Amino acid sequence: MQTLIECARTVTPQVIAATGFQPVVRSELFDSGVMMRLRYQTVAADRERISSDIVGEIVTAFAASDRLDSAYPHTVVELRSGNTRSMSPTPCAPAAAAPSALQGQAAVPNSPQGGLPQHG
């Protein structure tokens, strides 16, 4: 939270001085994480630029830190065998080549049919 507030302070010192309002962070818990909303005062005519500048500061701060990261939706698949807890993930082996109905025919690279032979 402190990083977000510092980024807003960096971009909006004149607004803070004029209004006396400091940036704050409002947090909310969700099933998949924590939503943090940075609230700050701005000049209406410069709202989009100031917002973009603050986001740029936040991205730079996150990139420079080994303690901060951005959350993103993703899925983790856990493989289980019998009554065991879980198996370590293993790299997927390439699928064995399946016999093809087109066996013996040459594929046409970059064809409209996606590499399948073209028939007249």
pLDDT winner (highest mean) among 28-32, 50-54, 66-70: 50-54
Is residue 46 one of the residues assigned to a domain?
yes
DSSP 8-state symbol, 30:
E
Is residue 54 one of the residues assigned to a domain?
yes
pTM for this model (two decimals): 0.58
> What is the domain extent for residue 35?
2-64
**Could you identify the residue written with the tokens 């510092």?**
6
Query: Looking at the 3D structure of the chain, how many domains does it have?
Result: 1
Is residue 50 one of the residues assigned to a domain?
yes
Task: Give the mean pLDDT of 63-72.
Answer: 85
106 confidence band (pLDDT: 50, 70, 90): very low
Question: Quick one: what percent of the chain has pLDDT higher than 70?
Answer: 68
